[in-house]
Amino acid sequence: MEFSTLCVHGCSKKYDTTGSVSVPIFQSATFAHPGVGLSTGFDYSRSQNPTREYLEQTVSKLEGGLDALAFSSGMAAITTLMELFSPGDHIIATDDLYGGSHRLFSHISNKNGLMFDLVDTTDVQNIEVRLRPETKAVFIETPTNPMMHVTDIAAVSKLCKDNNLMLIVDNTFLTPYFQKPLLLGADVVLHSGTKYLGGHNDTLAGFLVVSDTGLSERLRFLYKTTGSCLSPFDSWLLIRGIKTLAVRLDRQQKTAFQIAEWLSKQNRIKAVHYPGLPSHPGYEISKKQTSGFGGMLSFETDSKETAHLLLERVSLIQYAESLGGVESLITYPMLQTHADIPQELREARGIGDCLLRLSVGLESADDLIEDLRQALYGGNGNV
Ligand SMILES: *Cc1c(COP(=O)(O)O)cnc(C)c1O
């Protein structure tokens, strides 16, 4: 079955006999037992709920996995994932990491005894030289947030398999529509479902997807124990969001490409980071491992003043955190998503006061470009 059909029909599981086309929201905390020692398959919603199960099986199918777990947010998913590790374990992660993951690793996982090395994973050798006997996992984001660096998943997976390491891939930016890390050798795929999977800037959610029974069982145990599960109603919103995932991403990618090209021609814009531009250093790897470049891009203005002007003057595009929804959002990583990363580290990674990140929504490309143009050059806009 093709991806777009899977998005609409999901896992196709039926939970009632009414013929309801939309999956019912089973707003129940608990489920009555038909007899002693018997269960309908559902006992208590922290462990499982039919609406959430439907969503999980759908996401698992989309990623080509065996099991998916739906969490109350992306960070809840990553926090639970970290419980797989023990004090003394060492993890190598991409240096240009989502700010929240960085905060979790450096403030909480670290306190719990996990050790991290953050490296530029676009070069596999940088991972190899940091391997230690205690290394247990490699955690990558590709493309990265916000610099759009691309890591070769299959190459990192080979290194991980040779060294018995777990490979974790944050697939939030591209979603399984454009990139399927499990099929490239990853062990765990994670998502902030808040972004493209939900797609409407209205719900928080997170996912872990695996293709191994043992790993699925260990994560299920942690999941029901720590309790960071997605509610039935939010599960339903995600099911609904996913129905249009393929259509949304096709359009968002097309518009992102047009905007990236337009920005590249503006003299007030010094650099555009979009993996779909042949000038992007990750272009070739992207073509090899993904079926599309996505709807996210970042760019650098000629000055801090221009960046501020742009943020203050955009009107259709909203100056807000988050990404992947139908409304276009512009973010100032140094003040928002990456504010907790020490300044020196942040600037060394290119996240300075001229860097802006744009999540392209479903508005018309012409309207979005017009909004950027008037924000950059003023009302009547003749440059
Ligand atoms: C937003 C985001 C997260 C965290 O997800 P939440 O749903 O906000 O908790 C993790 N990784 C990436 C790449 C993200 O963009």
E strand intervals along the chain: 67-71, 90-94, 115-119, 135-141, 166-170, 188-192, 206-210, 269-273, 296-301, 318-319, 329-331, 355-359
- For the chain, what is the domain count? 2
Going by the DSSP 8-state scheme, the letter that residue 22 receives in this structure is: S
- The CATH number of whichever domain residue 281 belongs to comes to 3.90.1150.10
Same domain, 229 and 257: no
Rounded CA-CA distance 244/246 in Å is 6
**Is residue 252 in a domain?**
yes
Q: Select the more confidently predicted residue: 345 or 122.
A: 122
Residue 193 and residue 143 share a domain: yes
274 is catalytic: no
Residue 218 appears among annotated catalytic residues: no
What is the gyration radius of the CA atoms in the chain, in angstroms? 21
Confidence of residue 77 (pLDDT cuts 50, 70, 90): very high
Parent domain of 169: 3-242
How many percent of the chain have pLDDT more than 70?
99
Residue 191 sits in the same domain as residue 259: no
Testing ligand 1's pocket by substitution, the residue of 102, 189, 195 carrying the most ligand atoms inside 8 A of its CB is 195
Residue-averaged pLDDT of the chain: 96
pLDDT band at 383 (very low <50, low <70, confident <90, very high): very low
Do 262 and 193 belong together in one domain? no
Residue 255 is assigned to a structural domain of this protein: yes
**Residue 186 shares a structural domain with residue 215:** yes
Mean pLDDT across the stretch 221-235?
97
Tell me: pLDDT of 379 over 90: no
Q: Give the separation between CA 359 and CA 201, rounded to whole angstroms.
A: 11
Structural domain contains residue 382: no
Residues 191 and 325 in one domain: no
Domain membership flag for residue 238: yes
Same domain, 153 and 99: yes
Same domain, 158 and 256: no
Are residues 44 and 160 both part of a single domain? Answer: yes
Judge whether 340 counts as a catalytic residue. no
Of 183, 216, 242, at which residue does a domain stop? Answer: 242
What pLDDT, on the 0 to 100 scale, is given for residue 3?
Answer: 97
d(CA 95, CA 93): 6
Give the active site residue among 15, 46, 224, 373.
46
Mean pLDDT of 26-30: 98
Q: Which residues line ligand 1 (CB under 6 A)?
A: 73-75, 98, 100-101, 141, 145, 170, 172, 192, 194-195, 204, 206
Catalytic residue from among 180, 195, 248, 251: 195
- 129-188 residue pLDDT tens: 999 999 999 999 999 988 999 999 999 999 999 999 999 999 999 999 999 999 999 999
